[in-house]
Structure 1
Protein backbone atom coordinates (compact mmCIF):
# COMPACT_ATOMS: atom_id res chain seq x y z
CA UNK A 1 0.00 0.00 0.00
CA UNK A 2 1.15 3.53 -0.71
CA UNK A 3 0.95 4.78 2.88
CA UNK A 4 3.03 1.85 4.16
CA UNK A 5 6.06 3.91 3.15
CA UNK A 6 4.71 7.31 4.12
CA UNK A 7 6.66 9.65 6.35
CA UNK A 8 4.83 12.76 7.51
CA UNK A 9 6.67 15.66 9.10
CA UNK A 10 3.84 17.04 11.22
CA UNK A 11 5.59 20.26 12.19
CA UNK A 12 7.86 22.50 10.17
CA UNK A 13 8.13 26.16 9.25
CA UNK A 14 8.97 28.26 6.22
CA UNK A 15 9.58 31.98 5.98
CA UNK A 16 10.76 34.54 3.45
CA UNK A 17 12.47 37.39 5.28
CA UNK A 18 12.23 39.59 2.19
CA UNK A 19 8.45 39.35 2.36
CA UNK A 20 7.77 39.15 6.09
CA UNK A 21 10.19 39.78 8.98
CA UNK A 22 10.25 37.26 11.82
CA UNK A 23 11.00 39.38 14.92
CA UNK A 24 11.67 36.34 17.07
CA UNK A 25 14.70 35.57 14.92
CA UNK A 26 16.35 38.71 16.27
CA UNK A 27 16.78 37.02 19.65
CA UNK A 28 20.37 35.96 20.48
CA UNK A 29 21.21 32.42 19.42
CA UNK A 30 19.03 32.40 16.31
CA UNK A 31 21.73 33.61 13.96
CA UNK A 32 22.11 30.22 12.16
CA UNK A 33 18.47 30.32 11.01
CA UNK A 34 18.18 34.04 10.38
CA UNK A 35 17.59 33.60 6.66
CA UNK A 36 14.84 32.56 4.25
CA UNK A 37 13.68 28.92 4.24
CA UNK A 38 11.42 27.27 1.66
CA UNK A 39 9.88 23.79 1.27
CA UNK A 40 12.60 23.05 -1.28
CA UNK A 41 15.18 23.75 1.42
CA UNK A 42 13.39 21.23 3.63
CA UNK A 43 13.62 18.56 0.94
CA UNK A 44 17.34 19.27 0.63
CA UNK A 45 17.81 18.97 4.39
CA UNK A 46 15.57 15.93 5.02
CA UNK A 47 17.57 13.27 3.21
CA UNK A 48 17.70 10.57 5.91
CA UNK A 49 14.91 7.97 5.96
CA UNK A 50 13.28 6.87 9.20
CA UNK A 51 12.57 3.15 9.43
CA UNK A 52 13.04 2.95 5.66
CA UNK A 53 10.57 5.76 4.99
CA UNK A 54 11.44 8.96 3.17
CA UNK A 55 9.59 12.23 3.55
CA UNK A 56 6.32 12.24 1.60
CA UNK A 57 4.14 14.92 3.20
CA UNK A 58 4.39 17.78 5.68
CA UNK A 59 2.34 20.09 7.86
CA UNK A 60 3.55 23.69 7.73
CA UNK A 61 2.91 25.73 10.89
CA UNK A 62 2.53 29.46 11.44
CA UNK A 63 5.26 31.46 13.14
CA UNK A 64 3.85 34.93 13.75
CA UNK A 65 0.45 36.33 14.71
CA UNK A 66 -0.45 37.28 11.17
CA UNK A 67 -3.42 36.44 8.96
CA UNK A 68 -1.41 37.49 5.87
CA UNK A 69 1.23 34.90 6.79
CA UNK A 70 -1.49 32.25 6.92
CA UNK A 71 -2.76 33.34 3.51
CA UNK A 72 0.74 32.94 2.14
CA UNK A 73 1.12 29.48 3.67
CA UNK A 74 -2.19 28.34 2.21
CA UNK A 75 -1.24 29.62 -1.24
CA UNK A 76 2.07 27.81 -0.90
CA UNK A 77 0.28 24.58 0.01
CA UNK A 78 -1.90 24.91 -3.09
CA UNK A 79 1.20 24.93 -5.27
CA UNK A 80 3.67 22.70 -3.46
CA UNK A 81 3.11 18.92 -3.58
CA UNK A 82 5.01 18.37 -0.33
CA UNK A 83 2.60 20.31 1.90
CA UNK A 84 -0.50 18.40 2.96
CA UNK A 85 -1.89 20.75 5.60
CA UNK A 86 -1.47 24.19 7.14
CA UNK A 87 -1.70 25.23 10.79
CA UNK A 88 -2.54 28.91 10.55
CA UNK A 89 -3.31 31.84 12.81
CA UNK A 90 -6.43 33.83 13.50
CA UNK A 91 -7.15 36.17 16.39
CA UNK A 92 -8.96 33.94 18.85
CA UNK A 93 -9.92 36.96 20.97
CA UNK A 94 -11.87 38.56 18.12
CA UNK A 95 -15.64 38.12 17.77
CA UNK A 96 -14.97 37.95 14.02
CA UNK A 97 -12.66 34.92 14.20
CA UNK A 98 -15.21 32.75 12.40
CA UNK A 99 -15.43 35.22 9.54
CA UNK A 100 -11.63 35.27 9.28
CA UNK A 101 -11.47 31.48 9.14
CA UNK A 102 -14.18 31.44 6.46
CA UNK A 103 -12.28 34.04 4.45
CA UNK A 104 -9.05 32.07 4.69
CA UNK A 105 -10.79 28.89 3.57
CA UNK A 106 -12.35 30.61 0.59
CA UNK A 107 -8.99 31.86 -0.71
CA UNK A 108 -6.20 30.10 -2.61
CA UNK A 109 -5.31 26.85 -0.86
CA UNK A 110 -8.01 27.39 1.75
CA UNK A 111 -8.88 23.69 1.85
CA UNK A 112 -5.45 23.00 3.40
CA UNK A 113 -6.27 24.91 6.59
CA UNK A 114 -6.71 22.13 9.13
CA UNK A 115 -5.85 23.80 12.47
CA UNK A 116 -4.96 27.10 14.07
CA UNK A 117 -2.32 28.02 16.61
CA UNK A 118 -1.40 30.87 18.91
CA UNK A 119 2.02 31.28 20.52
CA UNK A 120 0.71 30.91 24.06
CA UNK A 121 4.26 30.32 25.29
CA UNK A 122 4.77 34.06 24.85
CA UNK A 123 1.73 35.06 26.92
CA UNK A 124 2.31 36.06 30.54
CA UNK A 125 -1.29 35.47 31.67
CA UNK A 126 -1.32 32.03 33.34
CA UNK A 127 -4.96 31.67 32.34
CA UNK A 128 -4.76 32.95 28.75
CA UNK A 129 -6.42 29.86 27.30
CA UNK A 130 -9.26 30.26 29.81
CA UNK A 131 -10.07 33.85 28.90
CA UNK A 132 -13.77 33.96 27.91
CA UNK A 133 -13.02 35.56 24.55
CA UNK A 134 -10.33 32.95 23.81
CA UNK A 135 -12.62 30.07 24.73
CA UNK A 136 -15.29 31.58 22.48
CA UNK A 137 -12.76 31.73 19.65
CA UNK A 138 -11.67 28.16 20.23
CA UNK A 139 -15.26 26.94 20.22
CA UNK A 140 -15.74 28.70 16.91
CA UNK A 141 -12.57 27.06 15.62
CA UNK A 142 -13.93 23.63 16.49
CA UNK A 143 -17.33 24.42 14.99
CA UNK A 144 -15.52 25.23 11.72
CA UNK A 145 -14.08 21.71 11.75
CA UNK A 146 -10.54 22.75 12.66
CA UNK A 147 -8.18 21.48 15.32
CA UNK A 148 -5.97 23.51 17.64
CA UNK A 149 -2.22 23.24 18.08
CA UNK A 150 -1.32 23.91 21.72
CA UNK A 151 2.05 25.68 22.07
CA UNK A 152 2.91 26.05 25.75
CA UNK A 153 5.96 25.70 27.92
CA UNK A 154 6.00 23.07 30.63
CA UNK A 155 4.89 25.46 33.38
CA UNK A 156 1.86 26.41 31.25
CA UNK A 157 0.59 22.86 30.88
CA UNK A 158 -2.17 23.40 33.50
CA UNK A 159 -3.79 25.79 30.99
CA UNK A 160 -3.76 23.06 28.37
CA UNK A 161 -5.27 20.56 30.78
CA UNK A 162 -8.10 22.96 31.65
CA UNK A 163 -8.66 23.65 27.96
CA UNK A 164 -9.00 19.94 27.21
CA UNK A 165 -11.40 19.53 30.11
CA UNK A 166 -13.57 22.53 29.22
CA UNK A 167 -13.70 21.91 25.45
CA UNK A 168 -13.80 18.13 25.09
CA UNK A 169 -15.12 18.39 21.52
CA UNK A 170 -12.10 20.39 20.25
CA UNK A 171 -9.33 18.25 18.70
CA UNK A 172 -6.02 19.23 20.29
CA UNK A 173 -2.40 18.44 19.58
CA UNK A 174 0.37 19.35 22.01
CA UNK A 175 3.28 20.89 20.15
CA UNK A 176 6.82 19.87 21.09
CA UNK A 177 5.57 17.61 23.91
CA UNK A 178 4.90 20.66 26.05
CA UNK A 179 8.57 21.69 25.97
CA UNK A 180 10.00 19.46 28.72
CA UNK A 181 12.82 21.19 30.62
CA UNK A 182 15.53 18.86 29.34
CA UNK A 183 18.36 21.31 29.83
CA UNK A 184 17.42 21.81 33.48
CA UNK A 185 17.05 18.07 33.96
CA UNK A 186 14.07 17.79 36.33
CA UNK A 187 11.14 16.27 34.44
CA UNK A 188 8.97 15.50 37.48
CA UNK A 189 6.37 18.24 37.09
CA UNK A 190 6.36 18.01 33.30
CA UNK A 191 5.79 14.26 33.45
CA UNK A 192 2.89 14.58 35.89
CA UNK A 193 1.19 17.29 33.87
CA UNK A 194 1.69 15.60 30.50
CA UNK A 195 0.18 12.39 31.84
CA UNK A 196 -2.82 14.37 33.09
CA UNK A 197 -3.25 16.00 29.67
CA UNK A 198 -2.93 12.63 27.95
CA UNK A 199 -5.89 11.47 30.01
CA UNK A 200 -8.13 13.55 27.75
CA UNK A 201 -8.94 11.40 24.70
CA UNK A 202 -9.11 14.27 22.17
CA UNK A 203 -5.46 15.22 22.72
CA UNK A 204 -2.59 14.15 20.47
CA UNK A 205 1.09 14.98 20.94
CA UNK A 206 3.94 15.91 18.61
CA UNK A 207 7.29 14.25 19.19
CA UNK A 208 9.09 17.36 18.08
CA UNK A 209 11.18 20.24 19.37
CA UNK A 210 12.95 18.14 22.00
CA UNK A 211 16.51 18.74 20.83
CA UNK A 212 16.20 22.50 21.18
CA UNK A 213 14.99 22.07 24.78
CA UNK A 214 18.12 20.05 25.55
CA UNK A 215 21.74 21.21 25.47
CA UNK A 216 22.13 22.22 21.83
CA UNK A 217 25.72 21.02 21.62
CA UNK A 218 25.87 18.03 23.95
CA UNK A 219 22.50 16.27 23.87
CA UNK A 220 22.38 12.52 23.32
CA UNK A 221 19.64 10.02 22.61
CA UNK A 222 19.84 8.90 26.23
CA UNK A 223 19.09 12.46 27.35
CA UNK A 224 15.83 12.38 25.38
CA UNK A 225 14.78 8.82 26.15
CA UNK A 226 13.06 9.64 29.50
CA UNK A 227 10.78 12.07 27.66
CA UNK A 228 10.04 9.50 24.95
CA UNK A 229 9.25 6.86 27.56
CA UNK A 230 6.72 9.16 29.25
CA UNK A 231 5.09 10.12 25.95
CA UNK A 232 4.83 6.54 24.74
CA UNK A 233 3.30 5.28 27.97
CA UNK A 234 0.98 8.28 28.42
CA UNK A 235 -0.35 8.73 24.87
CA UNK A 236 0.47 5.44 23.19
CA UNK A 237 1.78 5.40 19.61
CA UNK A 238 -1.69 5.99 18.12
CA UNK A 239 -1.71 9.50 19.61
CA UNK A 240 1.90 10.47 18.85
CA UNK A 241 3.17 12.09 15.65
CA UNK A 242 6.68 12.81 14.41
CA UNK A 243 7.60 16.42 13.73
CA UNK A 244 10.94 17.99 12.93
CA UNK A 245 10.43 21.61 13.98
CA UNK A 246 12.73 22.39 11.07
CA UNK A 247 14.48 24.77 10.50
CA UNK A 248 14.55 25.54 14.24
CA UNK A 249 15.99 22.04 14.62
CA UNK A 250 19.12 23.30 12.83
CA UNK A 251 20.06 25.03 16.08
CA UNK A 252 20.65 21.65 17.71
CA UNK A 253 21.72 19.15 15.07
CA UNK A 254 19.26 19.43 12.20
CA UNK A 255 16.62 17.30 10.50
CA UNK A 256 18.75 14.25 9.76
CA UNK A 257 20.21 13.92 13.23
CA UNK A 258 16.74 14.21 14.73
CA UNK A 259 15.46 11.62 12.26
CA UNK A 260 18.19 9.20 13.30
CA UNK A 261 17.29 9.80 16.94
CA UNK A 262 13.59 9.10 16.34
CA UNK A 263 14.48 5.85 14.57
CA UNK A 264 16.53 4.80 17.58
CA UNK A 265 13.72 5.71 19.97
CA UNK A 266 11.29 3.63 17.91
CA UNK A 267 13.45 0.55 18.27
CA UNK A 268 11.31 -2.19 19.81
CA UNK A 269 8.02 -0.80 18.48
CA UNK A 270 5.90 -2.90 16.16
CA UNK A 271 5.39 -2.04 12.51
CA UNK A 272 1.91 -0.73 13.26
CA UNK A 273 3.21 1.44 16.10
CA UNK A 274 5.98 2.85 13.91
CA UNK A 275 3.45 3.65 11.20
CA UNK A 276 1.25 5.48 13.69
CA UNK A 277 4.07 7.74 14.91
CA UNK A 278 5.59 8.38 11.49
CA UNK A 279 2.43 8.83 9.45
CA UNK A 280 -0.87 7.51 10.80
CA UNK A 281 -1.59 9.87 13.67
CA UNK A 282 -0.72 13.01 11.70
CA UNK A 283 -2.66 11.78 8.66
CA UNK A 284 -5.79 11.29 10.77
CA UNK A 285 -5.52 14.49 12.82
CA UNK A 286 -4.74 16.78 9.88
CA UNK A 287 -6.87 14.80 7.39
CA UNK A 288 -3.99 14.28 4.98
CA UNK A 289 -5.78 11.67 2.86
CA UNK A 290 -5.46 13.00 -0.68
CA UNK A 291 -8.45 14.99 -1.85
CA UNK A 292 -9.38 15.97 -5.42
CA UNK A 293 -6.96 18.73 -6.37
CA UNK A 294 -5.28 20.23 -9.38
CA UNK A 295 -1.81 20.17 -7.86
CA UNK A 296 0.46 17.19 -8.37
CA UNK A 297 0.93 15.04 -5.29
CA UNK A 298 4.26 13.58 -4.25
CA UNK A 299 4.14 9.88 -5.23
CA UNK A 300 5.02 7.16 -2.76
CA UNK A 301 8.15 5.25 -3.65
Structure 2
Protein backbone atom coordinates (compact mmCIF):
# COMPACT_ATOMS: atom_id res chain seq x y z
CA UNK A 1 0.00 0.00 0.00
CA UNK A 2 1.03 3.57 -0.67
CA UNK A 3 0.16 5.80 2.26
CA UNK A 4 0.07 9.56 2.61
CA UNK A 5 0.97 9.84 6.29
CA UNK A 6 0.18 13.53 6.70
CA UNK A 7 -2.64 15.65 5.39
CA UNK A 8 -5.34 17.89 6.82
CA UNK A 9 -9.06 18.47 6.41
CA UNK A 10 -11.00 21.33 7.97
CA UNK A 11 -14.44 22.88 7.79
CA UNK A 12 -14.52 26.60 8.56
CA UNK A 13 -18.30 26.47 8.94
CA UNK A 14 -17.79 24.32 12.04
CA UNK A 15 -14.88 26.17 13.63
CA UNK A 16 -12.14 28.64 12.73
CA UNK A 17 -8.53 27.67 12.24
CA UNK A 18 -6.74 30.32 14.33
CA UNK A 19 -3.46 29.91 12.45
CA UNK A 20 -5.04 30.89 9.13
CA UNK A 21 -4.17 34.57 9.43
CA UNK A 22 -2.48 36.96 7.02
CA UNK A 23 -2.94 37.53 3.30
CA UNK A 24 -0.27 34.98 2.39
CA UNK A 25 -2.59 32.23 3.66
CA UNK A 26 -5.66 33.48 1.80
CA UNK A 27 -5.40 30.69 -0.84
CA UNK A 28 -6.14 28.05 1.84
CA UNK A 29 -8.47 30.13 4.03
CA UNK A 30 -11.46 28.01 3.09
CA UNK A 31 -12.86 24.57 3.90
CA UNK A 32 -11.17 21.43 2.57
CA UNK A 33 -13.05 18.13 2.45
CA UNK A 34 -12.06 14.56 1.67
CA UNK A 35 -14.04 14.72 -1.58
CA UNK A 36 -11.53 17.28 -2.89
CA UNK A 37 -8.54 15.14 -1.95
CA UNK A 38 -9.91 11.85 -3.28
CA UNK A 39 -9.17 12.52 -7.00
CA UNK A 40 -5.57 13.42 -6.15
CA UNK A 41 -5.11 10.20 -4.19
CA UNK A 42 -6.53 8.19 -7.07
CA UNK A 43 -4.40 9.99 -9.65
CA UNK A 44 -1.18 9.32 -7.75
CA UNK A 45 -1.89 5.80 -6.56
CA UNK A 46 -2.29 6.56 -2.86
CA UNK A 47 -4.27 3.81 -1.16
CA UNK A 48 -4.75 5.21 2.34
CA UNK A 49 -3.98 8.26 4.44
CA UNK A 50 -3.41 9.56 7.94
CA UNK A 51 -5.30 12.78 8.64
CA UNK A 52 -3.74 15.14 11.19
CA UNK A 53 -5.38 17.68 13.48
CA UNK A 54 -5.13 21.35 12.57
CA UNK A 55 -6.68 22.99 15.65
CA UNK A 56 -6.56 22.44 19.40
CA UNK A 57 -10.04 20.97 19.56
CA UNK A 58 -11.36 17.68 20.89
CA UNK A 59 -14.48 18.23 18.82
CA UNK A 60 -12.37 18.39 15.67
CA UNK A 61 -10.64 15.16 16.70
CA UNK A 62 -14.00 13.42 17.17
CA UNK A 63 -15.19 14.70 13.78
CA UNK A 64 -12.06 13.42 12.05
CA UNK A 65 -12.52 10.03 13.71
CA UNK A 66 -16.12 9.89 12.49
CA UNK A 67 -15.03 10.87 8.98
CA UNK A 68 -12.36 8.16 9.00
CA UNK A 69 -14.90 5.57 10.08
CA UNK A 70 -17.09 6.54 7.13
CA UNK A 71 -14.26 6.68 4.56
CA UNK A 72 -14.21 3.00 3.67
CA UNK A 73 -10.61 2.66 4.82
CA UNK A 74 -9.31 5.58 2.78
CA UNK A 75 -8.46 7.40 6.01
CA UNK A 76 -6.66 4.64 7.90
CA UNK A 77 -5.71 6.71 10.93
CA UNK A 78 -6.25 9.98 12.76
CA UNK A 79 -3.64 11.99 14.63
CA UNK A 80 -5.85 14.08 16.88
CA UNK A 81 -5.46 16.67 19.59
CA UNK A 82 -5.93 16.34 23.32
CA UNK A 83 -4.78 18.50 26.22
CA UNK A 84 -1.58 16.85 27.42
CA UNK A 85 -1.81 18.70 30.73
CA UNK A 86 -5.32 17.43 31.51
CA UNK A 87 -5.24 15.20 34.65
CA UNK A 88 -8.06 13.17 33.07
CA UNK A 89 -6.14 12.62 29.80
CA UNK A 90 -6.25 8.82 30.08
CA UNK A 91 -10.05 8.89 30.26
CA UNK A 92 -10.24 11.39 27.39
CA UNK A 93 -8.12 9.17 25.16
CA UNK A 94 -10.19 6.12 26.07
CA UNK A 95 -13.34 7.99 25.06
CA UNK A 96 -12.09 8.72 21.54
CA UNK A 97 -13.56 5.92 19.46
CA UNK A 98 -12.35 5.13 15.99
CA UNK A 99 -8.95 4.81 14.30
CA UNK A 100 -7.06 7.17 16.63
CA UNK A 101 -3.36 6.47 16.05
CA UNK A 102 -1.66 9.49 17.60
CA UNK A 103 -1.83 12.85 19.32
CA UNK A 104 -0.33 16.18 18.28
CA UNK A 105 -0.08 19.67 19.70
CA UNK A 106 1.15 22.79 17.88
CA UNK A 107 4.31 23.11 19.97
CA UNK A 108 5.72 25.54 17.41
CA UNK A 109 3.08 28.08 18.51
CA UNK A 110 3.93 27.93 22.21
CA UNK A 111 5.84 31.02 23.43
CA UNK A 112 8.07 28.79 25.57
CA UNK A 113 10.57 26.86 23.40
CA UNK A 114 10.94 24.37 26.27
CA UNK A 115 7.19 23.69 26.61
CA UNK A 116 7.81 19.99 25.93
CA UNK A 117 10.01 19.79 29.03
CA UNK A 118 7.29 20.90 31.44
CA UNK A 119 6.41 18.28 34.04
CA UNK A 120 2.68 18.32 33.23
CA UNK A 121 3.40 17.88 29.51
CA UNK A 122 5.79 15.00 30.17
CA UNK A 123 3.14 13.27 32.29
CA UNK A 124 0.68 13.68 29.43
CA UNK A 125 3.15 12.23 26.95
CA UNK A 126 3.65 9.23 29.23
CA UNK A 127 -0.14 8.78 29.20
CA UNK A 128 -0.12 8.85 25.39
CA UNK A 129 2.52 6.10 25.45
CA UNK A 130 0.49 4.04 27.91
CA UNK A 131 -2.49 4.27 25.55
CA UNK A 132 -0.38 2.74 22.77
CA UNK A 133 -0.49 5.89 20.64
CA UNK A 134 2.23 7.83 18.84
CA UNK A 135 3.03 11.49 19.43
CA UNK A 136 3.62 13.79 16.46
CA UNK A 137 6.25 16.45 17.11
CA UNK A 138 5.29 19.71 15.40
CA UNK A 139 8.41 21.77 16.10
CA UNK A 140 10.79 24.15 14.39
CA UNK A 141 14.56 24.39 14.91
CA UNK A 142 13.82 26.62 17.92
CA UNK A 143 12.13 23.73 19.77
CA UNK A 144 14.43 20.94 18.57
CA UNK A 145 16.60 20.89 21.74
CA UNK A 146 13.50 20.33 23.89
CA UNK A 147 12.21 17.71 21.46
CA UNK A 148 15.51 15.84 21.62
CA UNK A 149 15.58 15.88 25.41
CA UNK A 150 11.93 14.81 25.63
CA UNK A 151 12.26 11.92 23.19
CA UNK A 152 15.30 10.67 25.09
CA UNK A 153 13.42 10.91 28.40
CA UNK A 154 10.44 8.88 27.12
CA UNK A 155 11.89 5.85 25.30
CA UNK A 156 8.58 3.96 25.45
CA UNK A 157 6.76 6.59 23.39
CA UNK A 158 6.87 6.48 19.60
CA UNK A 159 7.62 9.99 18.34
CA UNK A 160 7.02 11.10 14.74
CA UNK A 161 8.80 14.31 13.74
CA UNK A 162 6.60 16.33 11.40
CA UNK A 163 8.03 18.19 8.41
CA UNK A 164 11.64 17.38 9.41
CA UNK A 165 11.30 20.15 12.04
CA UNK A 166 10.82 22.82 9.37
CA UNK A 167 14.39 23.71 8.36
CA UNK A 168 14.99 27.26 7.17
CA UNK A 169 15.25 26.31 3.51
CA UNK A 170 14.34 29.72 2.09
CA UNK A 171 17.37 31.31 3.76
CA UNK A 172 19.65 28.33 3.14
CA UNK A 173 19.86 27.42 6.83
CA UNK A 174 21.59 24.11 7.54
CA UNK A 175 23.19 24.04 10.98
CA UNK A 176 22.34 23.49 13.76
CA UNK A 177 19.28 21.84 12.16
CA UNK A 178 21.26 19.09 10.43
CA UNK A 179 23.15 18.09 13.58
CA UNK A 180 20.00 18.17 15.69
CA UNK A 181 18.13 16.00 13.19
CA UNK A 182 20.99 13.51 13.28
CA UNK A 183 20.84 13.49 17.09
CA UNK A 184 17.11 12.76 17.00
CA UNK A 185 17.70 10.01 14.47
CA UNK A 186 20.07 8.34 16.94
CA UNK A 187 17.06 7.68 19.19
CA UNK A 188 15.31 4.46 18.12
CA UNK A 189 11.86 5.70 19.22
CA UNK A 190 11.84 8.61 16.73
CA UNK A 191 10.80 8.53 13.09
CA UNK A 192 10.51 11.45 10.68
CA UNK A 193 8.03 12.58 8.05
CA UNK A 194 9.32 13.61 4.66
CA UNK A 195 6.71 16.33 4.41
CA UNK A 196 6.19 20.06 4.55
CA UNK A 197 9.49 21.04 2.93
CA UNK A 198 8.02 22.98 0.00
CA UNK A 199 6.44 25.57 2.30
CA UNK A 200 9.78 26.12 4.06
CA UNK A 201 11.33 27.09 0.72
CA UNK A 202 10.53 30.22 -1.25
CA UNK A 203 6.91 29.56 -2.24
CA UNK A 204 7.25 30.84 -5.77
CA UNK A 205 10.31 29.88 -7.73
CA UNK A 206 11.72 27.02 -5.63
CA UNK A 207 13.61 24.31 -7.45
CA UNK A 208 14.02 20.65 -6.45
CA UNK A 209 17.73 21.31 -5.95
CA UNK A 210 16.81 23.73 -3.14
CA UNK A 211 15.01 21.02 -1.18
CA UNK A 212 16.69 17.74 -2.06
CA UNK A 213 19.70 18.19 0.28
CA UNK A 214 17.31 18.45 3.24
CA UNK A 215 15.22 15.48 2.14
CA UNK A 216 18.28 13.34 1.52
CA UNK A 217 19.77 14.27 4.89
CA UNK A 218 16.60 13.01 6.57
CA UNK A 219 16.80 9.75 4.62
CA UNK A 220 20.51 9.39 5.36
CA UNK A 221 20.32 9.85 9.12
CA UNK A 222 17.01 8.10 9.82
CA UNK A 223 17.17 5.47 7.09
CA UNK A 224 14.19 4.71 4.85
CA UNK A 225 12.67 2.33 7.39
CA UNK A 226 12.15 5.28 9.75
CA UNK A 227 10.91 7.91 7.28
CA UNK A 228 7.27 8.40 6.22
CA UNK A 229 6.01 10.24 3.16
CA UNK A 230 3.41 12.92 3.82
CA UNK A 231 1.92 15.48 1.43
CA UNK A 232 0.86 18.10 3.98
CA UNK A 233 -2.10 18.79 1.70
CA UNK A 234 -3.70 21.33 1.46
CA UNK A 235 -1.02 23.45 3.16
CA UNK A 236 1.45 22.31 0.51
CA UNK A 237 -0.65 24.00 -2.18
CA UNK A 238 0.71 27.35 -1.06
CA UNK A 239 3.93 26.34 -2.81
CA UNK A 240 3.33 23.17 -4.83
CA UNK A 241 0.73 20.79 -6.18
CA UNK A 242 0.14 17.35 -4.69
CA UNK A 243 1.95 15.84 -7.66
CA UNK A 244 4.96 18.10 -7.23
CA UNK A 245 5.29 17.17 -3.56
CA UNK A 246 5.12 13.48 -4.41
CA UNK A 247 7.63 13.93 -7.23
CA UNK A 248 10.05 15.60 -4.83
CA UNK A 249 9.89 12.62 -2.46
CA UNK A 250 10.33 10.24 -5.37
CA UNK A 251 13.38 12.19 -6.57
CA UNK A 252 14.91 12.14 -3.08
CA UNK A 253 14.45 8.37 -2.90
CA UNK A 254 15.33 7.54 -6.51
CA UNK A 255 18.56 5.74 -5.56
CA UNK A 256 16.92 3.57 -2.90
CA UNK A 257 16.06 -0.07 -3.37
CA UNK A 258 12.45 -1.03 -4.14
CA UNK A 259 12.16 -2.35 -0.58
CA UNK A 260 13.36 0.93 0.90
CA UNK A 261 10.96 2.91 -1.28
CA UNK A 262 8.13 0.68 -0.10
CA UNK A 263 9.08 1.58 3.47
CA UNK A 264 9.09 5.29 2.74
CA UNK A 265 5.79 5.30 0.88
CA UNK A 266 3.77 3.06 3.15
CA UNK A 267 5.30 0.36 5.31
CA UNK A 268 6.88 2.71 7.85
CA UNK A 269 3.62 4.60 8.33
CA UNK A 270 1.72 1.35 8.74
CA UNK A 271 4.16 0.11 11.38
CA UNK A 272 4.67 3.31 13.36
CA UNK A 273 0.99 4.25 13.49
CA UNK A 274 -0.14 0.60 13.84
CA UNK A 275 -2.59 1.04 10.99
CA UNK A 276 -5.19 -1.66 10.35
Same-fold status (TM-score > 0.5)? yes
1:276 aligns with 2:263: yes
* Cα distance in 2, alignment partners of residues 159 and 75 from structure 1: 33
SS at match of 1:217: coil
Q: Tell me what 2:87 maps to.
A: 95
Once the two structures are TM-superposed, the CA of residue 20 in structure 1 deviates from its matched residue by: 1.5
- Structure 2 gaps of 5+ residues are none
Q: Tell me what 1:64 maps to.
A: 55
Once the two structures are TM-superposed, the CA of residue 103 in structure 1 deviates from its matched residue by: 1.2
Structure 2 residue aligned with 1:37, among 32, 39, 50?
32
Contact 2:136 2:162 in 1 (8 A): yes
- Structure 1 gaps of 5+ residues are 1-5, 105-109, 290-301
* Cα distance in 2, alignment partners of residues 257 and 123 from structure 1: 31
* Cα distance in 1, alignment partners of residues 235 and 41 from structure 2: 13
* Cα distance in 1, alignment partners of residues 56 and 178 from structure 2: 29
How many matched pairs? 275
Q: Tell me what 2:240 maps to.
A: 253
* Cα distance in 2, alignment partners of residues 24 and 228 from structure 1: 26
Contact 1:46 1:256 in 2 (8 A): no
SS at match of 1:157: helix
Once the two structures are TM-superposed, the CA of residue 111 in structure 1 deviates from its matched residue by: 3.2
1:27 aligns with 2:22: yes
* Cα distance in 1, alignment partners of residues 145 and 22 from structure 2: 27
Once the two structures are TM-superposed, the CA of residue 34 in structure 1 deviates from its matched residue by: 1.1
Structure 1 pair 47–30 and aligned structure 2 pair: CA distance change class (3 A) = farther
Structure 1 residue aligned with 2:115, among 128, 151, 155?
128
Q: Tell me what 2:179 maps to.
A: 192
Structure 1 pair 171–12 and aligned structure 2 pair: CA distance change class (3 A) = same
Q: Tell me what 1:3 maps to.
A: none
Q: Tell me what 1:296 maps to.
A: none
* Cα distance in 1, alignment partners of residues 216 and 120 from structure 2: 36
CA RMSD of aligned residues (A): 1.0
Once the two structures are TM-superposed, the CA of residue 38 in structure 1 deviates from its matched residue by: 1.0
Structure 2 residue aligned with 1:227, among 214, 223, 239?
214
Contact 1:8 1:279 in 2 (8 A): yes
Query: Once the two structures are superposed, what CA deviation does each residue of 1:118-137 show, in whole Å capped at 9, x if it has no partner?
Result: 00000111210010000001
- Superposed, which structure 2 residues align to 1:282-293 within 5 Å? 282-289=269-276
1:75 aligns with 2:70: no
Once the two structures are TM-superposed, the CA of residue 225 in structure 1 deviates from its matched residue by: 1.2
Q: Tell me what 2:2 maps to.
A: 7
Q: Tell me what 1:17 maps to.
A: 12
